[in-house]
Amino acid sequence: MSMPLSPTKLLTCNGCGAVLTLGEVRPGGKCRCGKCGKILIVPADEPDRPPVEADPEPTSVGFHCRVCDTYLSARTLDVGKRAKCHDCGALTVVPTPTKSRPKKPPRAMHGQQYGLWGVDEAPLSSELAAQQPKFYPVHCRVCDTLMHAHAKQVGKMLSCPDCGAKTVTPPPPVEKTKPSVLVPDGSEYQLDETQESIDLPTYVPYAVRRIEEQEQRDEQRHRELYERSELPTIPLLQGVSRMLRRSPLPQYIFILAFALALEIWFVANAMANVQGMALMIVLVAYGTTAFFGALSFMAASAGWLAVLKESSEGNDRLYSPPSLIFVDWVGECFYVLFATSMALAPGLLAWRFVPGLVIGVGPGIATASWLVLFPVFLLSQLYNGSAMEFFSRKVASTLVKRPGQWLLFYAESVVLAAGCAGVVVGLQLLSPALVVISVLLVSTSSFLYFRLLGRLGWWLAESLAVERASAEDEPIG
């Protein structure tokens, strides 16, 4: 069995057999047993210390170059000779190696040692605690110093180590027995076999319940927001104004109208007083106005197409408003610009090359060409997914398959354009200061036009889908 090393000395009391631990007590000194109180004499016999092992003679010596301080190594046979440094080339005398001091073994290596219990010899901790003498606290009657006494010192006098006063050792306090946490025999719960079994609810952890509740709320919110409305009988007349009254479209319309009003005010007032200014200032003013006008048109195009797409999907709210990054508006603006230019092209060509047209009739022909062709071209672009593909046979075929729906849309577009133009002209004749109201009316009318166009696309898609489904259900032959 291996014996651990320890500097602690052990002494066995010859009175009660208790094992005492001794500190720095010289051999021949006296000590008192803590269990029985008997005075013992520390024996003088001490085992010899283990011999000190001498280090072997060194065979090499290390030193530093006297010039560059490079560490060098040489044999002990070359002591006194000169060694050449491999860095700087200087010669250095090889010194005599220093003798190392013999290593002294620690004090724990000698004296009485602790032993280890065997595998089946170690007593329980409760048995070791029961063999130890039990001390209880005693306070000095003069200075209240804390002392400790055991049961055999009851009634005797204890000297205080601080003030030296004598204190009678009181009896140890009565230990309170802790009540058992176990149920006494015969008091256990009994099952009533006559009562029917109760189905207890399944326990669900709190985290799982929170996740399930959040999923239910998300599903309910998604159902409320993204479920398509049922197609009304006449979508171009029923529920058209719902989207214009729901956030965030009113705020978007107001911001665009405000930006357009600022542009009109700047053109009408600020740029009217630049005749006497330098040419550079005039060019900067025109460039700034053109830049902000183009930016406002791109923002409006993004909003128009967002309203059209949401309406064509049967939604009554703008769930996906345009992004705040103006670079994303360029693609949306190109859809409107290209469809507008292609829709105006036939009217402008007729105005230019057809002889005999009155000058006042030309703008009317161009406007009529735009009113008829612009919705067809824009729906074709969105159906094809490209701004360059402005014509779709399926969209054009709906002019023949659903002429009534197209005629209703064209009639509403003409009424909307004429009414908006009449109100704006009337407001300007009434007072030029009403330009803000006029601009707000124009902005609202433009969004209402694209709302109608989106509802038309929804109506056409749903009606054609129903017709196609009924044709597939008919028997063949």
pLDDT reported for residue 411: 93
395 and 274 within one domain: yes
73 and 25 within one domain: no
Is residue 269 situated within a structural domain? yes
345 and 277 within one domain: yes
pLDDT reported for residue 451: 92
Is residue 160 situated within a structural domain? yes
pLDDT reported for residue 362: 66
154 and 68 within one domain: no
265 and 147 within one domain: no
CB count in 10 Å sphere of residue 448: 20
72 and 151 within one domain: no
258 and 311 within one domain: yes
Per-residue pLDDT of the chain (477 residues; tens, 9 = 90+): 334 444 456 677 877 777 776 665 566 677 777 777 777 777 765 444 555 555 667 788 888 898 898 888 888 888 888 888 888 888 888 888 877 777 777 766 666 666 677 777 788 887 877 777 788 888 998 898 998 888 888 888 888 988 888 888 888 888 787 787 787 777 777 777 777 766 767 777 888 888 888 888 888 766 665 555 678 888 888 888 888 888 888 888 888 888 887 777 776 665 555 554 455 665 666 677 777 778 888 888 889 999 998 888 888 888 888 888 878 888 888 899 999 999 888 888 877 776 655 555 667 788 888 889 999 999 999 888 888 888 888 888 899 988 999 999 999 999 998 888 888 888 777 776 677 788 888 889 999 999 999 999 888 888 876 555 555 544 443
- Contact (Cβ atoms closer than 8 angstroms) between residue 135 and residue 150: yes
447 and 425 within one domain: yes
pLDDT reported for residue 436: 78
By C-alpha distance, which of 429, 472, 411 is closest to 236? 411
pLDDT reported for residue 259: 81
258 and 164 within one domain: no
Cis, bond preceding 95 (omega within 30 deg of 0): no
- Contact (Cβ atoms closer than 8 angstroms) between residue 442 and residue 219: no
414 and 404 within one domain: yes
Tokens of 258: 């405000």
Is residue 235 situated within a structural domain? yes
Is residue 50 situated within a structural domain? no
Tokens of 248: 């965030």
Is residue 336 situated within a structural domain? yes
Supply the DSSP symbol for 196: P
- Sign of the alpha-carbon dihedral angle for 368, 374, 380, 383: negative
Quick one: angle between helices 435-473 and 361-384, nearest 10?
A: 50
- Contact (Cβ atoms closer than 8 angstroms) between residue 143 and residue 165: yes
Per-residue burial over 173-202, b = 16 or more CB atoms within 10 Å of its CB, e = otherwise: eeeeeeeeeeeeeeeeeeeeeeeeeeeeee
By C-alpha distance, which of 150, 151, 144 is closest to 167? 144
Residue span of the structural domain in which 19 resides: 1-44+105-132
138 and 70 within one domain: no
Give the whole-number percent of the chain exceeding pLDDT 70: 79
pLDDT reported for residue 476: 42
392 and 407 within one domain: yes
Is residue 195 situated within a structural domain? no
As for how many domains the chain has, the answer is 4
Is residue 145 situated within a structural domain? yes
pLDDT reported for residue 1: 36
Is residue 142 situated within a structural domain? yes
